[in-house]
């Protein structure tokens, strides 16, 4: 392991770290790293257990911090082990959240609900009580399901779990569920459903030996190292909006005077607005000093969800998204999602609602942009036929609605697979850029592998000028678009391959600049060894762009869980300073890593709104997912 650590540190794959590998030959089988309650042989007391768990998690940690140049913080510590040590690493991580924030759990000898009859967990008193070598109640007390039930989500932990596909099998078929590959998969699927826990699972080719543990350790230490914080995080000053339900961000507008309009997809009553059912779209207009000047709701008894706000004429706000209900009064069936665009005037009163789509299929809007004439371009997907014959599973959908709510035109484009439009941007000449993700070849495109990114440009009247598809053999996706003053566009997203240079690992952020004709100007790729995704961006001065995304790692200084980051890009794509903010929980993306994050510029600052499962400083999460609203001073690219 020491050679692997030296190699990975020298290669820059992991940060320098103090690694302690204690040996404990004085204790038979390490007491499975528990505080044993076994008092030994009835007559002699021989074999009595010792408090190994306390020795490791308190005494050893205190000694290491007092002796070496370490960071005395849970978010700077992780623990790992294999087999019995894997069980110990899991126990230490879950039961001592105040000490450790991550665990490398290799081939863990954990058994639920009780170990098989021939397991050595029963033989050494680790799970004993008094004179009994093994006590089933003590085993349950120390088991990971019990630790998960007591886990504090305010102190999140990350688990890297790995196991071989040919680990030792229990000879009794009745104990097949206790084979380690089965138990590891059950551990992963149980842990990842607990608030405050993130987890990765790897199944490698091999058995219960170093052919599995060495490659698993190498990948695991890279994964966990990226999550360890060794410097103070930036304070997170933000406002929290939410209900006791699971809420989502739905859009953000910032006025020239610093006032904001924010959309919250609310799972309950928010700011005094009645809750109709499912998710309601709650719009809150706020002055520069934070006072609410009006509130408005778009709601049916079904789910209604916003995915973008656009400024209209005369102080109006246009909101786009999708609804399963009868939002405009003319679609009573409610069997499938419909696209919608609605307008609210400067006093918070509804002007109009336009609902459209294929009545026999799902249609969703995922992006909106101003059309330069008081209306909006909107984009997403249709599972049916909105503007032509369906080409496959889902087709990308692009439409234009004018300032009076008239649907001027709609276009759908796609290949035989699942294709979505996720990003929009208005060009200086009135043309519109659109981008997204494609599962197979788009018309005129070539499929690179897995999901591909794509970009297209349309005229103001809906004519397609060009479409290009690009990617790697991994997953690639365009999530946001920033159009520059010269008419060129910068697409941001993520790639699991190498679009521009070597991949840092997992997903990397990318930005690609294209000209009006679609010619590639430059592509930049950046990331950590873990999952990093570009979501959106804002325009800075002189053609620069501030990219906004979310990361599991340390693009800047990591806080914990999933964080929100900004990355400065020069006009030529050169990457500059990265900043990172958030809570110790998941911010800017949901449990499925789908982004939920919006950005807009205001006077001298960048504004962000997005999903959080945690809370900013001096705020309390109302329940499940809430929406944050923050002003990041100095966040605009100079």
CATH class, 2-225 region: alpha beta
Q: pLDDT band for 153, please (50, 70, 90 cuts).
A: confident
Share of the chain above pLDDT 70, in %: 98
Give the pTM.
0.81
How many Cβ atoms are within 10 Å of 40's Cβ, its own excluded? 17
pLDDT digits (tens, 9 = 90+) for 516-552: 999 999 999 999 988 999 999 999 999 999 999 999 8
Q: pLDDT band for 637, please (50, 70, 90 cuts).
A: very low
Phi, psi for residue 216 in degrees, rounded to 5: -65, -40
**In the 3-class helix/strand/coil scheme, how is 323-375 assigned residue by residue?**
ECCCCCCCCCCCCCCEEEEEEECCCCCEEEEEEECCCCCCEEEEEEEECCCCC
Q: Is the peptide bond before 265 cis (omega within 30 degrees of 0)?
A: no
Tokens (6 digits) for 162: 């790995």
Rg (CA), the chain: 27
CB contact burial 293-328 (16+ within 10 A = b; e otherwise): ebebbbbbebbbbbbbbbebeeebbbbbbbbbbbbb
Q: How far apart are the C-alpha atoms of 197 and 586, rounded to whole Å?
A: 10
Tell me: pLDDT of 183 over 80. yes
CB contact burial 113-130 (16+ within 10 A = b; e otherwise): ebbbeeeebbebbbbbbe
pLDDT score recorded for residue 24: 64
Tell me: pLDDT of 27 over 60. no
Q: How far apart are the C-alpha atoms of 205 and 164, rounded to whole Å?
A: 6
What does the mean pLDDT of the chain come to?
93
pLDDT score recorded for residue 332: 86
pLDDT digits (tens, 9 = 90+) for 8-18: 988 878 889 99
Q: How far apart are the C-alpha atoms of 105 and 108, rounded to whole Å?
A: 6
Beta-ladder partners of 283: 263, 296
Q: How far apart are the C-alpha atoms of 266 and 277, rounded to whole Å?
A: 9
Beta-ladder partners of 482: 490
Q: Please state the domain extents for the chain.
A: 2-225
Q: How far apart are the C-alpha atoms of 181 and 177, rounded to whole Å?
A: 9
Q: How far apart are the C-alpha atoms of 135 and 588, rounded to whole Å?
A: 45
Q: Which of 227-236, 355-364, 374-383 has the lowest mean pLDDT?
A: 227-236
Phi, psi for residue 257 in degrees, rounded to 5: -90, 5
Asked if 523 and 570 touch (Cβ cutoff 8 Å), the reply is: no
């Amino acid at each position: 392991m020491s050679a692997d650590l030296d190699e990975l540190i020298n290669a820059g794959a992991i940060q320098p770290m103090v690694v302690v590998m204690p040996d404990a030959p004085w204790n038979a089988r390490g007491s499975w790293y528990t505080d044993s309650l076994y008092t030994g042989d009835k007559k002699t007391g021989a074999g009595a257990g010792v408090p190994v768990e306390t020795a490791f998690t308190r005494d050893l940690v205190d000694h290491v911090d007092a002796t070496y140049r370490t960071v005395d913080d849970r978010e700077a510590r992780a623990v790992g082990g294999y087999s019995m040590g894997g069980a110990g690493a899991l126990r230490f991580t879950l039961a001592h959240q105040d000490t450790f924030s991550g665990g490398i759990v290799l081939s863990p000898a954990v058994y639920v609900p009780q170990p098989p009859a021939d397991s050595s967990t029963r033989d050494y008193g680790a799970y004993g009580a008094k004179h009994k070598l093994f006590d089933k109640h003590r085993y349950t007390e120390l088991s990971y399901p019990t630790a998960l039930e007591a886990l504090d989500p305010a102190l999140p932990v990350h688990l890297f779990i790995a196991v071989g596909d040919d680990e030792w099998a229990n000879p009794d078929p009745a104990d097949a569920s206790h084979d380690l590959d089965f138990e590891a998969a059950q551990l992963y699927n149980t842990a990842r459903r607990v608030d405050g826990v993130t987890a990765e699972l790897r199944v490698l080719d091999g058995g219960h030996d170093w052919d599995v543990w060495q490659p698993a350790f190498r990948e695991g230490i890279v994964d966990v190292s990226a999550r360890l914080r060794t410097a103070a995080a930036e304070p997170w000053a933000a406002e929290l909006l939410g209900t006791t339900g699971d809420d989502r961000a739905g859009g953000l507008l910032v006025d020239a005077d610093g006032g904001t309009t924010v959309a919250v997809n609310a799972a309950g009553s928010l700011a005094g607005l009645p809750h109709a059912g499912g998710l309601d779209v709650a719009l809150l207009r706020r002055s520069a000093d934070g006072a609410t000047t009006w509130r408005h709701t778009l709601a049916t008894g079904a789910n209604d969800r916003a995915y973008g706000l656009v400024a209209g004429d005369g102080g109006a706000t246009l909101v786009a998204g999708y609804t399963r209900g009868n939002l405009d009064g003319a679609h009573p069936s409610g069997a499938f999602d419909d696209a919608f665009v609605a307008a609210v005037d400067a006093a918070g009163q509804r002007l109009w609602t336009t609902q459209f789509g294929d009545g026999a299929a799902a249609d969703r809007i995922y992006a909106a942009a101003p059309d330069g004439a008081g209306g909006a371009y909107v984009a997403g997907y249709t599972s049916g036929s909105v503007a032509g014959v369906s080409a496959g599973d889902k087709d990308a959908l692009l439409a234009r609605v004018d300032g009076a709510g008239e649907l001027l035109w709609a276009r759908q484009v796609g290949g035989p697979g699942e294709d979505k439009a996720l990003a929009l941007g208005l060009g200086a000449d009135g043309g519109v850029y659109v981008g997204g993700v494609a599962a197979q070849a788009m018309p005129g495109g070539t499929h690179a592998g897995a999901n591909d990114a794509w970009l297209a440009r349309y005229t103001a009247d809906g004519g397609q000028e060009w479409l290009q598809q690009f990617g790697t053999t991994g997953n690639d996706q365009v999530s946001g678009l920033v159009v520059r003053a010269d008419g060129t566009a910068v697409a941001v997203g993520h790639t699991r391959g190498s679009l521009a240079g070597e991949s840092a690992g997992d997903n990397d952020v990318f930005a690609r600049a294209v000209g009006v004709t679609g010619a590639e100007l430059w592509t930049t790729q950046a990331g950590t060894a873990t999952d990093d995704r570009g979501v959106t961006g804002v325009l800075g001065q002189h053609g620069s762009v501030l990219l906004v995304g979310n990361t599991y790692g340390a693009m800047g200084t990591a806080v914990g869980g999933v964080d929100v980051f900004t990355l400065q890009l020069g006009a030529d794509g050169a990457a500059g300073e990265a900043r990172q903010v958030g809570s110790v929980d998941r911010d800017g993306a949901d449990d499925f890593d789908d982004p939920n994050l919006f950005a807009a510029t205001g006077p001298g600052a960048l504004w962000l709104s997005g999903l959080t499962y945690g809370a900013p400083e001096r705020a309390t999460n109302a329940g499940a997912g809430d929406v944050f609203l923050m002003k990041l001073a100095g966040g605009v690219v100079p």
